Amino acid sequence: MSDAGTGTTGAGWFTPVAAGVQPVDLNIEVPHPARMYDYYLGGKENFPADRETAEQAIAAFPNTRNAARQNRAFLVRAVRHLVGEVGIHQFLDIGTGIPTSPNLHEVAQGIAPDTRVVYADNDPTVLALH
Ligand SMILES: C[S@@+](CC[C@H](N)C(=O)[O-])C[C@H]1O[C@@H](n2cnc3c(N)ncnc32)[C@H](O)[C@@H]1O
């Protein structure tokens, strides 16, 4: 995981304290599904426990990394179609996951800059990285 915006406070890694927001204990010794998914995608928001468990999943299911990347590729194709051909300029991305590039708003606003995107996720670790 990149160190940008994170820090340690004795017991472990915590997210930064923005105004009115409680820090999130990232609990980096325990593999986290969203950070494992980030690892499959080649992201940097993951720790050794995430990577080790992700590699075990890949060993058991060799298509795991490809499936994650094809999932993202589908998102890009679908958003390009919806913005460019259907004319949709508002999106609600539920279960957005850890930010990755290109993310939905980057694809959509690359075609129609006025496109608005709301990202939603119920995982505090994911929300802390948005
Ligand atoms: C595999 S990630 C998918 C990331 C991204 N949407 C993609 O397709 O690449 C699934 C995400 O859904 C979130 N999630 C699961 N159940 C949810 C719920 N009931 N409400 C909101 N988010 C949820 C998880 O926290 C996780 O970040």
Give how many domains the chain has, as a whole number.
1
**Could you tell me if 67 and 92 are in contact, meaning their C-beta atoms sit under 8 angstroms apart?**
no
pTM: 0.83
In a domain, 5, yes or no: no
From residue 111, alpha-carbon distances to 73, 80, 82 in Å are 16, 8, 10
In a domain, 32, yes or no: yes
**Could you tell me if 107 and 115 are in contact, meaning their C-beta atoms sit under 8 angstroms apart?**
no
- Could you tell me the residue range of the domain that residue 71 belongs to? 23-129
In a domain, 16, yes or no: no
In a domain, 61, yes or no: yes
In a domain, 14, yes or no: no
Q: Residue with the nearest Cα to atom 4 of ligand 1?
A: 97
Ligand 1 center from residue 61 Cα (angstroms): 20
Ligand 1 atom closest to the CA of 100, numbered from 1:
9
Structure confidence by residue, pLDDT tens digits, 11-65: 455 555 555 667 788 899 999 999 999 999 999 999 999 999 999 999 999 999 9
CATH label of the domain that carries residue 55? 3.40.50.150
